[in-house]
Amino acid sequence: MSRRALTLLLAGLLVLALGVVGAFRPVPYVVLSPGPTENTIGDVEKKPVISIKGRETYPTSGSLSLVTVAYQGGPAAQIDLLTALRGWIDPTVAVVPEETIFAPNSDPGQVEEENAVEMTNSQDSATAAALTELKIPYEMVVTIVSTEKGKPAEGKLRKDDQITAVDGKPAKDVDVVADMVKAHKPGEDVVFTIARGKDKLDVTVRTVADPEGQSLVGVRMQAMYKFPFDVDINVGDVGGPSAGLMFSLGILDKLTPGELTGGKQIAGTGTIDPKGEVGPIGGIPQKMVGARDAGATVFLTPPDNCAEAMKSVPDGLRLVKADTLHDAVLALDALRNGQGNVPACAAG
């Protein structure tokens, strides 16, 4: 073999070796793919997803399915370049920069804790929204789950403190408390009125700026409710807040005579607050694929996700816009009765 041929061969082998090594190097991306669906009026692992005790319930039919997004990657287990490349050529998945899913320098344990808190909040908000729709009264109090190490609230506010007011104004829910803190400039004081056991205290905490320049004190909060009967939701390892709308519909279906779905396979997504307002979520293309693969023909969609959903809706899946829980109930009533006045998503 000539020296030139040998040089070319060695160079080719070196390029190949570098390519193989590079293909398995970790990259800061996350692959999003369709995750499992769960019928909120059905069972998971032989247990009802929604169990209600202390109140009369009624038979249901069809499905009201929550949808999820599975992901590969993240701070704890970065994917390699080859996995990212496979994702880029698969139309049913998305490959996104890691920072769009996880906060910079986020701790995996903290992410799991936040997802668990968001899921618990979502379930409670869903129950509250269903009871609000049915005009059944309940009580709510904002409770501190934990304080962040090194932040101003550490050592001043405690786990299980109940926030009753901020700067003298009632703490109506978690979002209201967060907004009242953000209304301050970084470096200003916030006065929390709290119930700690049998004591009522005013605690002053100075705000600091988050990476976006908004004020925070470093607390994780959760709305704690006192409902007139027990509602237990069992979804296994699913985390995050995006199943709120479907939880509410499942609770409503069980608490009211008649069958909300009319036997249809309904899926959907969206956060929900105690008033029944539906909020946007992420991963809508992957969630629609998962819904259609599970047999759904109707997909309840938050209004702020409609434009994105219209760009990639799978064949055979009808998008129904759900601004509120009440609107979603009216839409399902219309579908069940064969009426045409069902709010649809429109391309943005």
State residue 261's pLDDT score.
95
**Across-strand partners of 37?**
67
77 versus 3: the higher-pLDDT residue is 77
State residue 119's pLDDT score.
76
State residue 17's pLDDT score.
46
State residue 250's pLDDT score.
97
Q: Is the pLDDT of residue 96 over 60?
A: yes
Distance CA 294, CA 161 (A): 43
Backbone angles phi, psi at 237, to 5 degrees: -90, 10
CATH at residue 253: 3.30.230
Q: Is the pLDDT of residue 15 over 80?
A: no
Q: Mean pLDDT across the chain, nearest whole number?
A: 86
Q: Tell me, yes or no, whether 6 lies in a domain.
A: no
Q: Tell me, yes or no, whether 3 lies in a domain.
A: no
pLDDT in tens, 23-50: 457 777 777 889 999 999 999 888 999 9
Tell me if 270 sits within 8 A of 278, measured CB to CB: yes
DSSP 347: -
Tell me if 37 sits within 8 A of 288, measured CB to CB: no
The length of the chain in residues reads: 348
Per the listing, tokens 């006045």 go with 341
Q: Is residue 65 flagged as an active site residue?
A: no
29 versus 156: the higher-pLDDT residue is 156
Percentage of residues in the chain having pLDDT higher than 70: 85
Distance CA 314, CA 105 (A): 36
Q: Is residue 242 flagged as an active site residue?
A: yes
* Nearest residue to 256 via CA among 121, 338, 136, 140: 136
pLDDT in tens, 232-264: 999 876 767 889 999 999 999 999 999 999 999
DSSP 314: P
pLDDT in tens, 273-320: 999 999 999 899 999 999 999 999 999 999 999 999 999 999 999 999
Looking at the fold, whether 186 and 306 belong to one and the same domain comes out as no
Q: Tell me, yes or no, whether 345 lies in a domain.
A: no
State residue 4's pLDDT score.
55
Half-sphere exposure of 272 (CA within 13 A, CB side): 34
CATH at residue 167: 2.30.42.10
The parent domain of residue 154 ranges over: 139-226
Looking at the fold, whether 37 and 105 belong to one and the same domain comes out as yes
State residue 236's pLDDT score.
73
Per the listing, tokens 């992420």 go with 282
Looking at the fold, whether 173 and 315 belong to one and the same domain comes out as no
Q: Tell me, yes or no, whether 42 lies in a domain.
A: yes
108 versus 129: the higher-pLDDT residue is 129
Looking at the fold, whether 222 and 234 belong to one and the same domain comes out as no
Looking at the fold, whether 125 and 59 belong to one and the same domain comes out as yes
Looking at the fold, whether 47 and 112 belong to one and the same domain comes out as yes
Out of 65, 242, 248, 321, pick the active-site residue.
242
Tell me if 305 sits within 8 A of 325, measured CB to CB: no
State residue 208's pLDDT score.
96
pLDDT in tens, 121-132: 888 999 999 999
State residue 305's pLDDT score.
95
Looking at the fold, whether 324 and 239 belong to one and the same domain comes out as yes
Q: What is the CA radius of gyration of the chain?
A: 24
Task: Write down the pTM of the prediction.
Answer: 0.77
Point out the domain boundary residue: 174, 192, 226: 226
Looking at the fold, whether 109 and 235 belong to one and the same domain comes out as yes
Out of 151, 156, 254, 287, pick the active-site residue.
287
State residue 113's pLDDT score.
66
Tell me if 261 sits within 8 A of 336, measured CB to CB: yes
Structural domains in the chain (count):
2
pLDDT in tens, 49-92: 999 999 999 999 999 999 998 877 776 677 777 777 776 777 88
Looking at the fold, whether 95 and 150 belong to one and the same domain comes out as no
Tell me if 65 sits within 8 A of 249, measured CB to CB: no
Distance CA 316, CA 296 (A): 9
State residue 281's pLDDT score.
92
Q: Exposure of 32 by Cβ count < 10 A (0-12 exposed, 13-18 middle, 19+ buried)?
A: buried
State residue 22's pLDDT score.
46
Point out the domain boundary residue: 226, 260, 281: 226
Looking at the fold, whether 205 and 148 belong to one and the same domain comes out as yes
Looking at the fold, whether 236 and 328 belong to one and the same domain comes out as yes
Looking at the fold, whether 203 and 273 belong to one and the same domain comes out as no
